[in-house]
Structures are given as C-alpha cells and as structure tokens.
Structure 1
C-alpha cells in the first residue's frame, strides 16, 4: 500500500488498504502458519528438522483444512497496526511541512526538498511505527500462540484473556524490543525511499 497522501483522501486509502490486507491475509495464512511451525519445531525438538511437506501433512491430519487458518484472526487484528502507523505518519509529515512553509515563500523553493526533509520523513516514519507497533503488538504474541502445534489456545479473544491471566500482562509484549529493532529501521528506510522516488518521478 502506498502512503495515503499520494492516493487522495485518507479514509479512502484506509478502506482500500483494509480490503487488500484482508484478501492477502486470507490467501497467505497457510504459508505463515507452516513457517511458524517450522521455526518452533527447530527450536523445541533438537532433532531432525521437520520438512515443510511433513509439516503440511501433520497440520492436515490434526485439524484438517481449518488448521491452516489458525492465527488468522490475530493477523486481521494486526491490520490496525499499519492503519495507525499511516495516520500518525501523515499527521507528523503535515506538521513538518507546515513548519517549513513560512520559510519558503517562493513556490519553486517550496516544491524542492533537501536532505533535512528526508531525514524528517525518516524520523516521522520511525516515530509512527514505534507508536503503532507498541499499541498493536499483542496480536503478534497471540498469533504465534495460536499457530503452535498442540496448543491450548483456540481463538483470538480466548488467547487474549488466557495469556494475561496465567502469565501476566507483560507476556503480551514479549519480544517487543527485538521486533522494534527490526521494524523501525526497515520502516524508516522504506518510507524515505518511497518519498524520494515519488519526488524524483514528479520532477
């Protein structure tokens, strides 16, 4: 999904994004489930690594086709993270542009961008992603729990209530720091690169 400010209204962009993400999650959830099972298997068993084909067979034998869609509800909930990210990013970017506007009275100067503008966009992206991820992160933990083999977790809300009750609310944020270390630089570079390409294409 391209950032909303390049696609018209924010509301229309969010609706488009939701439709695309629902479709993508539904189509690819079996792949992500197999990936998670393989990761957990390699960590827990300490023996011959299970192949993807064997994993598919085990999932089907245990739960049928429904087994390939475990954790999909948590992935749907995770859509909120990107929506929050873009809303915050757009607001920060707009404020940065408004702060710069009085300094550039000439239209040509106002349309030009320098290195500081792109640094500002990277900081805006990093800030918005940090906020969005911190708010929506529990869905990552819930999704992994639901995808575990032989798990006692059966649904999104059942997992959301069981984990804090048995392990405390901090359990919903396990791995957050590591996740942020990966996501923040990735998002900052991605958004800055996108803005730069759009700027160059627009001449």
Structure 2
C-alpha cells in the first residue's frame, strides 16, 4: 500500500470505529452487565416467598428459576429500565471511539513503517510489534473514557437517581476516587494487548492471501472502484470475513482480560489489582466466570470489527486516489 499521511490513518481509524460502536452499542451494554454479574450463564436465581405451614409456622422456598443469558439480560433491561438503557454509555463511546481508533491506527501505521525499515518488511514480527505499540499508546491515553463508559453501562438506577450524564459520572468519580480512579482496569487492558496482536497478525495474513500479492488492499479495492484489472478483483465480503475471522480467534483466546477489567472498573469494587481479581474470581466462581458474556461479545465484535476495518481500508484507499 502506498505511504499515507498519519492524519489519513487517524481519520480513517476514527470513522471506522465510530460507525461500528454505534451500531453494536446494545450488545456492548449486555456484555458488560454479564461480565460484572456474579452469576454464571446458567446459574439458578431464587426469589424467596413465605409459605405458612399447617402448624402455623412458615418457611421459604424459591418462587421461580431463571437462567441469566444474553436474551434474558436484554429482556430485563427493556422491561425494567427501558429501551434507552440499551444505549447507556453511548456518549463516552462516541466521544472515545474516534480518538481511540485514530490513535491506534496512527500509531500502528507509524510503528509499522519504522519496523519495516529495520526488519524484514511485512513479516509477522513487524505486525506484532506494531500492534503492541499501538495498543499500549491508545490504552494509556484513553482509559479514563472507557472507565466512564463502563460505569454508565453498569448503572441500573432509574428516575432521579439515575446518572443522567457523562459529566455527572466524571464528577462523581473524581470526587470519590480522585484521578487514580480514572485509571482502574488499565493493567487488564495492557494484558488485552495480546488480543490485538493476535487479531492483526491473522488479519494481515488473510489480507495478503486474499490480495495475492502481499502489497495491502490497494488492488482489491481498486477493483471495487472500477479502476483495476479484472484479475485483481476481490469480493468486498471477503475483506469483512478476514476481519471477522481474525477478531473471533483473538477474542476467544484473550477474552478473560475483559471480565477482569470490568470487575476492576466497578464502582466501590472489592477488586483491587489484576492478580487479586484473577485469584478472587477463580476461587469464588470458577474458570467459566472468565468467559462470562463471551456470547454477547462474539455477536457484537464480529460485525463491529468487520465494519471498522473495512471502513478504515476503504477511506484510506479513496483518499489515496483523490
């Protein structure tokens, strides 16, 4: 792919991330609720009722049994909090996704250019180093935004008690926890860089194989614009498939860090550090707890990543032809 300015990658990455985040926001809320819940996906929930015995005494027994899964969490949110709650945290998402993706893709592009000049170009080592650096930079700069988003998504209050604005949440965090409160969960996010590394390694490999020339996506996208030779044509859906496959593999492998990060970001949480949280969740809830919300994550992230990556590549291509 021809050299592009850093500004172009910033804009393309920001636009792609924004579009994908808005479309999939309801599933993000469901996923966050599941990650923070102490219940497993199939844990029995009891609501006790008092029953009078023959001798005048009383005892309690469960009134109903239910399983907490994606559909039930979605139904509970709609029934108890209304449809607007499915977009809770969208404000910080819209504010944060553009600079986060922009910083990420800009850093990735710069790091990749530097690595290509010192190492064998377009190798897996180049992709891994570039993705790691980009992840570290974007996490460090934008963690406060995502902490606020998580707090809003976990807020189940209604009416006047509800945190109605992002600014109210920010003010509350600052007053009760100080500046350090905005960086809770950042250690787990650093661990999550492994997901990004795996995703980009697979994505770049699939992209090169689909292109057939190992030179990026310029020839395939030229065919979509009608300015490339017939033999260079590639179905646009194939690009989305490459992004989806890469994200699926990476998410399954690295997903536990998301559960740990959500627990660390909870208000008034008993979870303090990365190691302590990992040990506590494992001891009290078992190994399955680290994959709570994975179903919602899969449903959300596959289309989200596909939209993000294809939007990014398309904008880069179009801008390069202007």
Category of TM-score, reference length = shorter chain: 0.7 to 0.9
Task: Give the whole-Å Cα distance in 2 for the aligned partners of 1:20 and 1:97.
Answer: 24
CA offsets 1:75-103 (integer angstroms, 9 cap, x no match): 1112221111010122233344559xxxx
Task: Give the whole-Å Cα distance in 2 for the aligned partners of 1:20 and 1:93.
Answer: 19
1:19 and 2:133 are equivalent in the alignment? yes
Task: Give the whole-Å Cα distance in 2 for the aligned partners of 1:127 and 1:146.
Answer: 29
**Larger CA deviation: 80-89 vs 18-27:** 18-27
Cα RMSD over matched residues?
A: 2.9
Q: Which residue of 1 aligns with 2:144?
A: 30
CA offsets 1:157-194 (integer angstroms, 9 cap, x no match): 21122112211111111111111211111222333344
Q: Which residue of 2 aligns with 1:113?
A: 232
Task: Give the whole-Å Cα distance in 1 for the aligned partners of 2:170 and 2:208.
Answer: 47
Task: Give the whole-Å Cα distance in 2 for the aligned partners of 1:197 and 1:53.
Answer: 32
Task: Give the whole-Å Cα distance in 1 for the aligned partners of 2:197 and 2:246.
Answer: 10
| Structure 1 residue 62, shift from structure 2 partner | 3.3
| Structure 1 residue 63, shift from structure 2 partner | 2.9
CA offsets 1:121-175 (integer angstroms, 9 cap, x no match): 2222111110001111111111110011111111112112211221111111111
Query: Quick check: 2:248–2:302 contact (8 Å CA) kept in 1?
Result: yes
Query: Tell me, what secondary structure is at the counterpart of 2:272?
Result: coil
Query: Quick check: 2:244–2:302 contact (8 Å CA) kept in 1?
Result: yes
Structure with a larger share of its residues in helix: 1
Query: Tell me, what secondary structure is at the counterpart of 1:123?
Result: helix
Task: Give the whole-Å Cα distance in 2 for the aligned partners of 1:162 and 1:12.
Answer: 37
Q: Give TM-score scaled by structure 2 length.
A: 0.51
Structure number with the bigger relative contact order (C-alpha 8 A, sep ≥ 6) is: 2
| Structure 1 residue 39, shift from structure 2 partner | 2.0
Task: Give the whole-Å Cα distance in 1 for the aligned partners of 2:299 and 2:132.
Answer: 26
- 1:1-203 alignment to 2 at 5 Å? 1=105, 7=113, 8=116, 9=121, 10=123, 11-41=125-155, 43=156, 45-47=157-159, 48-50=161-163, 51-98=165-212, 112-116=231-235, 118-197=236-315, 201=320
Structure number with greater Rg is 2
The runs of 5 or more residues in structure 2 that have no matched partner are 1-104, 214-227
Summarize the Cα distance change of 1:97–1:31 in structure 2 as closer, same or farther, 3 Å threshold. closer
Report the number of matched residues: 190
